[in-house]
Chain A
Amino acid sequence: MTSSLTVHDLSVRFHLPGATVHAVSEASFEVRQGECLALVGESGCGKSVMAHALMGLLPGNATVSGSAWLRTEGAQPLDLIAAPEKVLARTVRGRRIGLVPQSPASHLTPVRTARAQLTEALRELGSQASADELAGRAGLDPAQLDRYPHQLSGGMAQRVVNAIALAGDPWLIVADEPTSGLDRPLVEATMAELRRLADDGRAVLLITHDLRAAEQVADHIAVMYASRVVSHAPAAEFFAGPRHPYAAGLLEALPSRSFVPISGRPPELTDLPSGCAFRPRCDRSTAACSDLPKAGPVACHHPLEHHVAR
């Protein structure tokens, strides 16, 4: 049996005074060992909240519904949404799911060496591996572990946080915007690291706004818009011709394509339009779009015709 994470109908709401934020609505997807799934979307579409929901790291004013079954080889399946905090802390975080955080430089403690921080993670997780071994696994020269974070380049800092994420030998890696603020060569290096983790038999859930980074590493692309997963496709198919109008618009906005922004602006998550949330910005919308499209590979009433692969 391969290990997998199956998210089904996951919804997250935040209750604010006078408003409810629809951060994630009925999201479903699956990620298996050896695969990388990229969850892409504009900033503020709810994709980071998804990562936090899976790790049990949401603030107290959040309500979560749906299920996220973590099926680990040789262990009972566990619903991450229903599991108590104690179980998540003792058996899941760091051990089955490793988090690669946004901005490695600010994630590391500036006054301690990389080795001290890595050793701490190993000790806390009761791992038998040595810091040097782990550094090697993350593509770091063990000598670099004795540096302080400010002495590390961006790429090295990235590998240090990767090594920490791998300390408890988790099979699922959740990478939340691991490249924001990095320059292109570093983005490419980071993506190559994630690909290597997937090729080593781990599962990678990459959360990013960067389509080009996703193209480099992902096997599947899920596109989120206004809290919903609106498109889900194998990467090659997606980049050859996305069928959801929003996904197509996002891809066309790249400088390497037509560089035209999608008209209008994304809706507020506190005030989502009824029916298809993309309807006000979509040039294909008709009366039918006031009904919510069925969730699936393409959540749209008028998907684009499939283009021929380039």
Chain B
Amino acid sequence: MLRADGITVAYGRQRVLRGADLEVVPGVVTGLAGPSGCGKSTLARVLALMLRPDAGSLSMDGTEIHRWRHRAARDLRTRVALIFQQPRLAVDPRLTLREIAEEPFHATGRPVEDLTDDVGLTPELLTRRPHEVSDGQLQRACVARALALKPRYVICDEMTTMLDASTQAHLVARLETYRKETGAGILAITHDEELLTRWTEPSGGPTVRMS
């Protein structure tokens, strides 16, 4: 279980999270809802070990987290993946889509596996760079990248807000397949109530509301 207890984060003097608690349980989709500016994305970054909170504790499968970002043990860091709202801001514009999706293998020195086929990218698209593809195509590469190292937890931070209905349904279905195959825990962050219901229902996961 990925478990956050009393997480508090401030940017400068502005406190964006005050004592937030959340549990992401393997095998189910946990929903996280709340209006914009309530700290959902900040909590997502804490859970992905990308931001050290000012107070509170985080544990992953019983291991207390003490180190963050690149200081975190690789085994813990790669156990959780984050998918961002805006794919364009989440990729290196100099890389091709294939290189983007394969980055995690190179970063960890593992043999490269082909994983882009099932997110719906053609071989031709994989040779292109971010400015030559649409947001939907780029987000598909980001989903492939997030799933590359078979994370036990996947945090989807408004993953489909920028995308059309069909691409949204496709990517959510891809994550559902991944969850069923691997028993991963998914955190679905969205303010879209209809999407939240649709996504959390099949696994009977809870929805946490922030304000």
Contact = CB atoms under 8 A, between A and B. Distances in A.
B169 A185 contact: no
B164 A41 contact: yes
Interface stretch (B14-22, B102-110, B191-199, B203-211): B191-199
B168 A256 contact: no
A11 to B, nearest CB: 20
A260 B169 contact: yes
B170 interface: yes
Interface string B60-104: 000000000000000000000000011000000000000000000
Given A42-B136, A261-B173, A184 B166 contact: no
Contacts of A261: 166-167, 169-170, 173
B169 A43 contact: no
B201 to A, nearest CB: 10
Contact of A42 (B85, B167, B172): B167
B168 A268 contact: no
Given A43-B135, A154-B36, A183-B36, A253 B166 contact: yes
Contacts of B137: 43-44
Interface string B156-190: 00100111111111101100000000000000000
A232 interface: no
A152 interface: no
Contacts of B55: none
B113 interface: no
Contact of A268 (B86, B120, B124, B166): B124
Contacts of A249: 166
B35 A183 contact: yes
Contacts of A211: 164-165
A180 interface: yes
A153 B158 CA distance: 18
B168 A253 contact: yes
A92 to B, nearest CB: 28
B164 A259 contact: no
Contact of B192 (A43, A44, A255, A268): A255
A262 B134 contact: no
B133 interface: yes
A186 interface: yes
A42 B137 CA distance: 10
Nearest to B121: A265
Q: How large is the interface on B (under 10, 10 to 19, 20 to 34, 35 or more residues)?
A: 35 or more
B173 A43 contact: no
Given A181-B86, A268-B122, A268-B124, A259 B169 contact: yes
Contact of A209 (B163, B191, B195): B163
Nearest to A153: B37
Nearest to B133: A44
Contacts of B193: 184
Contacts of A43: 134-137, 162-164, 167
Given A44-B133, A185-B35, A250 B194 contact: no
A251 interface: yes
Contacts of A153: 37
Interface hub of A211, A256, A259 (most chain B Cβ within 10 A):
A259
Contacts of A271: 124
A254 B35 CA distance: 21
B192 A259 contact: no
A271 B122 CA distance: 12
A260 B165 CA distance: 9
A185 B191 CA distance: 9
Interface hub of B36, B172, B195 (most chain A Cβ within 10 A):
B36
Contact of B164 (A42, A185, A256): A42
Contacts of B164: 40-43, 209-211, 250, 253
B162 A262 contact: no
Given A44-B137, A181-B161, A265-B122, A253 B169 contact: yes
Those 10 A-B pairs whose CB atoms lie nearest each other, nearest first: A44-B134, A43-B134, A261-B170, A43-B136, A209-B164, A261-B169, A253-B165, A255-B198, A255-B194, A253-B169
21 contacts: A42-B164, A43-B163, A43-B167, A44-B137, A180-B162, A181-B162, A183-B35, A183-B36, A183-B158, A184-B191, A184-B192, A185-B35, A186-B36, A209-B164, A251-B165, A253-B165, A253-B168, A253-B169, A255-B199, A261-B170, A261-B173
Interface of A: 40-44, 153-154, 180-186, 209-211, 249-251, 253-256, 259-262, 265, 268, 271
Given A153-B37, A185-B191, A255-B197, 4 more contacts: A186-B36, A209-B163, A253-B165, A254-B165
